[in-house]
Amino acid sequence: MKKAILVLGLFILCGNALRAQIPLFVKKALPEGTVVHSNIAYAADTLKQHTLDLYIPPYAGKDFPLLVWIHGGGWRGGQRSGEMKNMKSVLKAILEKGIAVASIDYRYTMTDIFPAQIQDCNQAAGFLYENSGKYHVDKDKFAVIGFSAGGHLASLMATSNNNNIEAFYYNRKKPLFNIKAAIDFYGPSDFVARIGSMKLDDDGDQMSTSTALLGAKPVDRPDLAKFASPTTYVDKADPPFLIFHGDQDHTVPIMLSKLLDSYLKLAHVESEFVIVQGASHGGELFGSEDIKNKILSFLNTHLK
């Protein structure tokens, strides 16, 4: 009996420890009754970067559409709840609309170069697809949202989903999920086009993040730059896109988002490009009421 009580106590302590890792600002944003699954391992290993948090809306008796949330950080840092600090009202509204949110981590460039990052994102989505019944997720209604480096990965997931690029998947095996909609916040969409904003001998931060991702300078390996670019895989079978970019962004050129929007429209894919006046690379302006309403309308339309 004492042993059973001890085991139960340890289980409760572990559960509380996991819940405690959800930042307070996220907890406060969650509608009452939201079910939180923290630090779910989505790969068959113990890597911290191979975990996710899952937020299930507070309505029982149904399966929920799922929004896969991908954080930024130059592919070398960041936290899976990072952008939620400026998007608290957006997160709350999404859950109140009956859409589940999975916030995922992925490997960083300090240990693994591209395509490790897109492999992880696809593996996380594949895990959620395979375990949709367990978590009350509608496996036929997946969308993605990403910020900066996460915007790149979300866009790449969406544009390459129907192309079956074996290198983008763990064990070179494509999961069965499909993406119904994609939301990109100021993500680099084309590494070849981005070369134009860099100096040949530039060793600054903007240069080093792309170089670290690809394992070589984009100007030296334009083939790798093209391979990692969402624009490379745009075709008429891609899902609808909603793209946001600040007109004062000095980290990722706004023309890269315009370029992605143009490629999508040329392929007759629905795309809306929203210029956020006065916004830089991230910040509170992206959590505005107008942006929240655009996101809710977009998801409601495409995750019916």
3-state secondary structure of 160: helix
Query: What is the average pLDDT score of the chain?
Result: 91
Mean pLDDT (whole number) for 100-128: 98
Q: What is the pLDDT of residue 268?
A: 98
Whether 23 has a pLDDT exceeding 70, the answer reads yes
Whether 18 has a pLDDT exceeding 60, the answer reads no
Q: How many residues does the chain have?
A: 304
Return the CATH superfamily for domain 23-302: Alpha/Beta hydrolase fold, catalytic domain (3.40.50.1820)
43-79 pLDDT per residue, tens: 989 999 999 999 999 887 789 999 999 999 999 999 9
Q: What is the pLDDT of residue 199?
A: 65
According to DSSP, the β-strands at 241-246 and 179-185 are parallel
Q: Is 148 left (phi over 0), alpha (psi -120 to 50) or beta?
A: left
Helix runs in the chain, H state only: 2-20, 24-29, 88-96, 116-130, 132-135, 149-160, 191-194, 205-214, 222-227, 254-266, 289-302
